Structure 1
Amino acid sequence: MTRPTTTHWLLAAVVFVALAAWPITKFLFLFPQDQWQVDIQVYREAGISVLQGRPVYQQMTDPPQLLPFTYPPIAALLAVPLALVPFEVAAWTWTIVQLAANLAIAWVAWIHVRRRVGAWAPVLVAAVAGAFLWTQPVGDGIRFAQVNAFLVLAILLDLKRPRLPVLRSIPPGVFVGLAMAIKLTPGVFIIHYLVCKRWREAATAIVTASLVSIGAWMVLPSASFAFWGGALSDPTRLGPNDGSANQAFRALLLRRGLEAGSTELLLAWAPYLLVIGGVCFWLARRAYRQGDWLMEAAVVGLAGFLLSPVSWVHHLHWLMVIVPAIIGASGGRDRVRLAVAAIPFAWFVATMPFWGVLWKREQREPAWFGDLLVEGNVIGSLVILALLAWAISRGDRDAAGGSGAVAAQAEAGSQSPPVGSRPWSR
């Protein structure tokens, strides 16, 4: 493969800056000060609480946000460096590192297309990472100074096969365990490991998360007791569960008038969890059997969004993995896959819940259309699940249809593994 030249790298920098310019300007220069980088304020307050001995889970950010810290105690310890620098320095540093993480996600997740374009790979990655800043999940990560980019990158590197040389000494499952210790939703990957009977990876992830949590308990015993003994089970700490920003299916039910904690809510939500959870882990297992680690990551990452009681749109940072997973190993040669992959990208460029809130606030007709827009990301996440199911089925058909070509390659001495095979050790 032709190596990128200095010109390719410089062009990549220009492309990324051009695409990122507006989202960065909007979220870091034009946003009201009381809404500026609100989550870094939450993290920083937790770090200050650790340093000053304040109760981590009782402290709120300044008005008008008044946001509590909702992550496990280890995250509060990791936030201490943010408390050692001025807020503006912490916010800008976090943004720059988050942009770097998005570039790394694009480099790893778009591996099939990247290999196809050869020396233009840096330009492709820059264009992809910059373009996804225009989608609501990734853009809101910058807007709020969120942690999702780092968690997605860590898990993606843990699932990648073949493993990066620099990570070969780290057992698979460690990064999933670390991500779970910091934010509980990556625990869906442990369920995936168990469904696929990948006992070693599941055990590694569980032990890693447990050891990290125990270590945090030893350093912050009172905070750990407060989190595991109460704060964890209080979904109201995450904000208004029935607000339009919460795009979990449970939130849809709350917006339809069901009361939190009611039997009616449980009876409506439980079948959804069983069906959608079953479909997600069944599809992820099929992707694993196909040897498609990228699709595995996309499906299980989406499952975390679909099954959580509270899902803000920035939790769907997995969109950066979902789109290339649909494109698949064809690297863009399959035009049908390309067209299908464009659907989730376009869907989440359109901020449907925002327009739905405006529709309802201005009392436009028909009223049901405003309600439909408000649930746009709930619907969109289920549409993505259907598209991933289609891509996995197409992968099975591609593998069956390509068997003759694979045999011919083998006779010719080709070293390329057949589509759908698993030529690596798990």
Structure 2
Amino acid sequence: MRVTAVRTTRAPAWQWAGCAALVLLGAVIPVLRFLVFWPMDQWQVDVEVYRQAGVSILIGRPIYDAMTEAPQLLPFTYPPFAALLAIPLALLPFGLVGWLWTALQIAATTAIVWYAGYRLIHRGGSAQPLVLGLLAAPMFWLHPVGDGIRFGQVNAFIVLAALMDLRRPRPRVLSGVAPGVLVGLAMAIKLTPGVFVVHYVINRRWREAGTAIATAAIAWLAAFVAIPSASLAFWGGALQDPARLGPNMGTSNQSIRGVLMRVGPSGGAGVALWLVLIALVGWFGFRLARRAWLRGDTVTEVAAVGLLACLLSPVAWIHHFHWIVVAILAILGADPLRDRRRLVAALVITVWFVCRLPWWGISWIAHDWPPILVGRILQNADLAGALLALWLLAWASAREPRDAEADAVARAGERSAAPGKVERRAASEAG
């Protein structure tokens, strides 16, 4: 076993100020575009949905019958526990909620970069804040992240919860929280993180699976006690209606099913093809996640399972692909300059998702430019990019064994050991 002595280095305050400036510089483009210059009738439409759910509870209105104001007319689609969490939003003016939610999304995305890129960031020594800022700034230009800011979405918080729960070494702030709790809470708010429970079960990680399921069940039971009629409405009907989510055939649905609905066969043949494809992608992705977990590469593990949550779901809007932030940092690894092919691969995925290729495809098709096949390919490019990212995760994960020195630096940077203490990578941390 390799042993490395590492000392904790405290970054000067000006570097944290520089980090904040870099993050704000990166976020200013989507913030100006979607909060300052965006039409008010489309402003923060999803956070308006959350807030209206809280309002419905306070005034006794049926949660799943209520709609936001025209022209959006959007229903609440999340479990009742999420509606309970939205009550504080109902106590504040909508304009203030939109700006606060955006600030929280920016903070959550920066935290995702910190936790997913910890091995690379902590190589920066006393310059860690600047490295964090440089890595975080371009993430706000990614199509899924920008759309999350545009709509006022919840995905940044879901990704952060799963990443903090599964990543090893475990964040110090979670020292008293059992593994699986954050995944369970995320699943109680939005059902798609349940794919992590499938991952746990496949790998016989019964304790984590049980903890996640129990946490979600307790949250759902609490919601049933607090708002029984809403719980019955969700589990007894709203959950089975995919049309509540919006037009499944629309370009924004970049799941395998969404793409097949646009370009694949219809009827039973389309369903059969979808089942075959999700079986193949699921086999590849869960196998990759298992290999990453066994090798202790928990960032790749989270990225792979998170992408599966989008690819295998019947509906995956573009902003659901917030997991691509984790995937980019997993592909970069601890030292991309040592193997510049990893740097190139990460840049390819970054540029791919910065370019908003599906909307290029919509313009191509709308103008009837030949060949129309190019427009169709571009229209479905985020699915292709997610599949490419999944393959690159497998490629990058296999390139080298886990870097014990980088792990030691990461632990020291998180102050999990006293300055000067010798760090050891325990084999048990792979789980």
TM-score between the two structures when normalised by the length of structure 1: 0.92
> Which one of 328, 332, 336 corresponds to residue 327 of structure 1?
332
Distance across 2 between alignment mates of 1:274 and 1:2: 47
Q: Per-residue displacement from partner, 1:156-181 (whole Å, max 9, x unpaired)? A: 11112122233121110000000001
Equivalent pair of 2:23/2:110 in contact (CA under 8 Å): no
Distance across 2 between alignment mates of 1:379 and 1:103: 26
> Which one of 117, 121, 130 corresponds to residue 114 of structure 1?
121
1:226-237 alignment, distance < 5 Å: 226-237=233-244
Partner of 1:409: none
Equivalent pair of 1:327/1:334 in contact (CA under 8 Å): no
> Which one of 5, 8, 17 corresponds to residue 10 of structure 1?
17
1:363 aligns with 2:368: yes
C-alpha change, 1:300 and 1:225, in structure 2 (3 Å) is: same
1:186 aligns with 2:193: yes
Shift of 1:423: 4.5
Shift of 1:361: 0.9
Partner of 1:135: 142
Q: Please tell me the residue identity of whatever aligns with 2:342.
A: R
C-alpha change, 1:349 and 1:2, in structure 2 (3 Å) is: same
Distance across 1 between alignment mates of 2:28 and 2:430: 42
Shift of 1:18: 2.0
Distance across 2 between alignment mates of 1:285 and 1:221: 39
Q: Please tell me the residue identity of whatever aligns with 1:255.
A: R
> Which one of 326, 340, 352 corresponds to residue 357 of structure 2?
352
Equivalent pair of 1:112/1:331 in contact (CA under 8 Å): no
Aligned partner of residue 399 in structure 2, secondary structure = helix
Shift of 1:363: 1.2
Q: Per-residue displacement from partner, 1:171-227 (whole Å, max 9, x unpaired)? A: 100000000010000001001111111110000001111111111011111111111
Distance across 2 between alignment mates of 1:361 and 1:425: 50
C-alpha change, 1:338 and 1:374, in structure 2 (3 Å) is: same
Q: Please tell me the residue identity of whatever aligns with 2:372.
A: A
Shift of 1:258: 4.1
> Which one of 232, 255, 263 corresponds to residue 256 of structure 1?
263
Shift of 1:137: 0.8
Which segment is superposed worse, 161-170 or 275-284? 161-170
Partner of 1:404: none
Shift of 1:425: 7.2
1:290 aligns with 2:312: no
Q: Per-residue displacement from partner, 1:62-98 (whole Å, max 9, x unpaired)? A: 1111111000000011011111111001111111111
Aligned partner of residue 330 in structure 1, secondary structure = coil
Shift of 1:102: 1.2
Partner of 1:244: 251
1:32 aligns with 2:39: yes
Aligned partner of residue 400 in structure 2, secondary structure = helix
C-alpha change, 1:134 and 1:359, in structure 2 (3 Å) is: same
1:330-345 alignment, distance < 5 Å: 330=335, 332-345=337-350
Which segment is superposed worse, 234-243 or 263-272? 263-272
Equivalent pair of 2:264/2:270 in contact (CA under 8 Å): no
> Which one of 316, 320, 326 corresponds to residue 311 of structure 1?
316
Equivalent pair of 2:54/2:87 in contact (CA under 8 Å): yes
Shift of 1:415: 5.7
Shift of 1:107: 1.2
Distance across 1 between alignment mates of 2:325 and 2:197: 21
> Which one of 250, 264, 281 corresponds to residue 276 of structure 1?
281
Which segment is superposed worse, 19-28 or 1-10? 1-10
Partner of 1:99: 106
Which segment is superposed worse, 332-341 or 357-366? 332-341
Aligned partner of residue 133 in structure 1, secondary structure = helix
Partner of 2:86: 79
C-alpha change, 1:219 and 1:258, in structure 2 (3 Å) is: farther
Distance across 2 between alignment mates of 1:181 and 1:14: 35
Distance across 2 between alignment mates of 1:332 and 1:78: 43
Q: Please tell me the residue identity of whatever aligns with 1:166.
A: V
Distance across 1 between alignment mates of 2:328 and 2:283: 22
Distance across 2 between alignment mates of 1:233 and 1:90: 30
1:395 aligns with 2:395: no
Which segment is superposed worse, 116-125 or 12-21? 12-21
Aligned partner of residue 163 in structure 1, secondary structure = coil
Equivalent pair of 2:187/2:216 in contact (CA under 8 Å): yes
Partner of 2:221: 214
Equivalent pair of 1:248/1:305 in contact (CA under 8 Å): yes
Q: Please tell me the residue identity of whatever aligns with 2:391.
A: A
Q: Per-residue displacement from partner, 1:92-151 (whole Å, max 9, x unpaired)? A: 111111111111111111101111111221122222222111110111111110001111
Distance across 2 between alignment mates of 1:31 and 1:214: 39
Equivalent pair of 2:336/2:342 in contact (CA under 8 Å): no
Shift of 1:309: 0.5
> Which one of 369, 373, 388 corresponds to residue 383 of structure 1?
388
Q: How many pairs are equivalent?
A: 407
Distance across 1 between alignment mates of 2:11 and 2:70: 49
Equivalent pair of 1:116/1:331 in contact (CA under 8 Å): no
Q: Please tell me the residue identity of whatever aligns with 1:281.
A: F
Distance across 1 between alignment mates of 2:83 and 2:209: 25
Which segment is superposed worse, 11-20 or 220-229? 11-20
Equivalent pair of 2:27/2:106 in contact (CA under 8 Å): no
Partner of 1:199: 206
Distance across 2 between alignment mates of 1:2 and 1:207: 40
Q: Per-residue displacement from partner, 1:1-55 (whole Å, max 9, x unpaired)? A: 4321122122222222222222111010011111110101100111111111111
C-alpha change, 1:331 and 1:112, in structure 2 (3 Å) is: farther
